[in-house]
Amino acid sequence: MNLAFDTHAAVKRLREAGFTEGQAEALSETLQDGVTGGGLATKADLATKAELVEVKNELKTELAEVKAQLAGLATKTELAEVKTQLAGLATKTELAEVKAQLAGLATKTELAEVKTQLAGLATKAELAEVKNDLVWIKRIGALIVALLAVPILRDLLG
């Protein structure tokens, strides 16, 4: 939609107000561009109700997806509980010390050889002593497995 703008009358009024001829003409032309549609939105530029409803529905769908993703995230309270639990776990330095101590323990093959040798032992006292040693080795093995799992859990939990 174009509106009429009398540039001659505008220049005349501006000259009477003290503007120079050049200033009056430049301002008059600028005003004419603005009034006659230079850069103004037209009805064709506006969205229809149907387009607005379509965008609204798309945004609702995206919002529902975001809410579903957020529902799966841990709360601050849950994260604080995990951090508290992790605080009591062994550090990497402590695990390295345990690994170094475990390096001197027997391997499964060595344990199998010992069992074979034990089968030939004559006294029950000797067997009881070896069984006691094996129990301790199993306990240490379980401790090793538990300590090795700590860094993996710490990495997973952040």
Over residues 78-132, the pLDDT tens digits come to 888 878 887 777 777 887 787 777 777 777 888 778 778 767 766 788 878 888 8
Please provide the size of the chain in residues: 158
DSSP-derived letter for residue 42 is: -
- What is residue 93's three-state secondary structure? helix
Q: For 38-64, what is each residue's pLDDT tens digit?
A: 656 667 768 888 989 999 999 999 999
pLDDT tier at 11, thresholds 50, 70, 90: very high
Please give the model's pTM, rounded to 2 decimal places. Answer: 0.30
Q: What is the pLDDT of residue 103?
A: 75
Cα–Cα distances in angstroms (integers) from residue 35 to residues 6, 8, 129, 135, in the given order: 11, 15, 105, 95
CB 157 within 8 A of CB 82: yes
Q: What is the pLDDT of residue 25?
A: 95
- The closest of 9, 7, 57 to 34, measured between CA atoms, is 7
